[in-house]
Amino acid sequence: MATCDVCGNNYDKAFTVQGPRGSGTFDSFECAIHALAPTCSHCNCRIIGHGVEAEGTFYCCAHCARKAGVQGVDDRA
C-alpha cells in the first residue's frame, strides 16, 4: 500500500502522477488536483479543465481572463 501525499491515507489503490507541475502519490483525483492543478489568477479556483493561458498567466475560463484585462479570448469559437 502507498500513502497519499496530500491527506495521508494509506490506500491499496493509490497511484502516482508525474508531470510538469510536479509529481506525487495520491489516493484520489481530488487529492491530485489539490496538489498539482494550477490556480486561476482571477478567482483562485483550481483549473481542472483546459482553462486559458495568457502571457504565462492561467485562468479557469475566458470570463476570468477578460475580468483580469485579457483581450481576444472567448469561451466559444
Report pLDDT digits (tens) over 14-26.
Answer: 999 998 878 999 9
Note whether 45 and 77 are same-domain residues: yes
| 10-residue averages of pLDDT along the chain (77 residues) | 96 94 94 95 95 95 96 86
Cα 75 to Cα 23: distance, rounded to the nearest angstrom: 30
pLDDT of residue 76: 80
User: Structurally, how many domains does the chain consist of?
Assistant: 2
Note whether 28 and 44 are same-domain residues: no
C-alpha cell belonging to residue 55:
502571457
Note whether 60 and 26 are same-domain residues: no
Note whether 51 and 25 are same-domain residues: no
pLDDT of residue 61: 95
